[in-house]
Amino acid sequence: MVVIINDDRVTDVEAYLPVAKAFAADAVANDEGCISMEVLVDPKTPGRVLYLSHFESEEHFRKHAQGETFRKWLPELGKYFISAEDQIFEVG
């Protein structure tokens, strides 16, 4: 299993958050190997939203990132998007 921390910067957290939560729920329900995905807000850094995800493998995460769920939500998420960085950790 791997843990993914996706560190996003967005222009409007309040508008982005409902879309991000819907995307996360869709990914858990429909993307193979996606065990869980939480959306977290950093109260100390304006515009910072984290996704904390568990996937069965890095390969499953890569497929998710190139998959239908991601493509479906990208136009709505993209309205607020500034940047993102992924960190991948293996569960020991």
Q: What is the CATH number of the domain that holds 12?
A: 3.30.70.100
Number of domains in the chain: 1
What is residue 22's predicted lDDT score, i.e. its pLDDT? 98
Q: What strands, in cross-sheet order, belong to the sheet with 48-55? A: 34-41, 48-55, 2-10, 81-90
Within the chain, which residues score under 70 in pLDDT? none
Mean of per-residue pLDDT scores for the chain: 97
What is residue 31's predicted lDDT score, i.e. its pLDDT? 98
What is residue 58's predicted lDDT score, i.e. its pLDDT? 96
Which of 79, 62, 4 lies closest to 38 in space, CA to CA? 4
What is residue 56's predicted lDDT score, i.e. its pLDDT? 98
Q: Which domain holds residue 71?
A: 2-90
What is residue 14's predicted lDDT score, i.e. its pLDDT? 97
Which of 31, 36, 22, 18 lies closest to 68 in space, CA to CA? 31
Using a CB cutoff of 8 Å and minimum separation of 24, what contacts does 41-45 make? Answer: 41/13, 41/17
